Amino acid sequence: MKPKKLPLTIVAKSGEMVLVPAGPFQYGQNKEEVPLPAFYIDKTEVTNQAFAPFSKATGHALPADFPADKPAYPVVNVTIGDAKAFAKWAGELLPSPREWEKAARGIDGRLFPWGNEMDPKRANLGPDGTLVPAADFAQSAGPFGTVQMVGNVWELLGDRTTPSDRAIAHFRTLMPTPPTLNDAWYEARGGSYKDRPPDISIWDWTPVPEHWKDANIGFRCVKDAQQR
């Protein structure tokens, strides 16, 4: 019996999700061939409209300066704990680095979702930009239909990582409670409206301590294709 064909899109608590089919893709700067099973990923960053029902249903606090009048914008000022709590409520997960990168660049090792040329007009990058609705820049969608996986907001991933000494020193200048090596750190990918185009690579990432949040940090979720 042939396996049942998976729908290209589904609707979940986090919003519309698009299918990333099973199979290998070229991962990282060296384009290592890596296989992955099929999964769904949010078409856009999780929005304020999606986050508000989670907060109401669970009593989880809304982020600082939550703009209820901007439902189409990505939710920001969230920690990794906030993002994981939302994903659990939605029956989803935060992406792994490999899932995120395959969804962003497809299977052919391209440098950006739209191709191999950096075009600042195709993404919401800075350094002097502003946040825009999560569904903007649809003309620059990736191979599977994801939008704004480069630019707008950094996207938190579910895998822990080890920060460099330079990263720890950098966050010590920014945070009221300085991070240490004992803190949990996570990857964030994609860049934001504050970042210059030359600083962004599809395979690159930045380490973020677990209690860090900012106006240019958000997330999107994934879901196992067999548990849709």
Which band of pLDDT confidence, cut at 50, 70 and 90, is reported for residue 191?
A: very high
Quick check: 92 pLDDT over 80? yes
Mean pLDDT of 82-106: 98
Concatenate the DSSP letters of all residues of the chain into one string.
-PPPPPPSEEEETTEEEEEE-SEEEEETTTTEEEEE--EEEESSPPBHHHHHHHHHHH-PPPPTT--TT-TTSBP-S--HHHHHHHHHHHT-BPPPHHHHHHHHHTTTT-SBTTBSS--GGGSB--SS-----TT--GGG--TTS---SSBSSEEEEEEEE---HHHHHHHHTT-SS---TTS-EEEEES--TTS-GGG--TT--EEEETT---TTEE---EEEGGG-
pTM: 0.95
Distance between CA atoms of 105 and 115, rounded to whole angstroms? 8
Q: Is the peptide bond before 127 cis (omega within 30 degrees of 0)?
A: yes
Mean pLDDT of 114-139: 95
Quick check: 1 pLDDT over 60? no
Mean pLDDT of 142-154: 98
CATH superfamily of 15-227: paralog of FGE (formylglycine-generating enzyme) (3.90.1580.10)
What share of the chain has pLDDT > 90, as a percent? 84
Quick check: 60 pLDDT over 90? yes
Q: Is residue 74 exposed (0-12), middle (13-18) or buried (19+ Cβ within 10 Å)? A: buried
Q: Give the dihedral of Cα atoms 19, 81, 192, 109; nearest 10 deg.
A: -40
Quick check: 3 pLDDT over 70? no
pLDDT of residue 2: 62
Which band of pLDDT confidence, cut at 50, 70 and 90, is reported for residue 181?
A: low
pLDDT of residue 27: 97
Q: Which residue type, as a one-letter code, is found at position 47?
A: T
Q: What is the mean pLDDT of the chain?
A: 94
- Please, which residues bridge with residue 208 across strands? 186
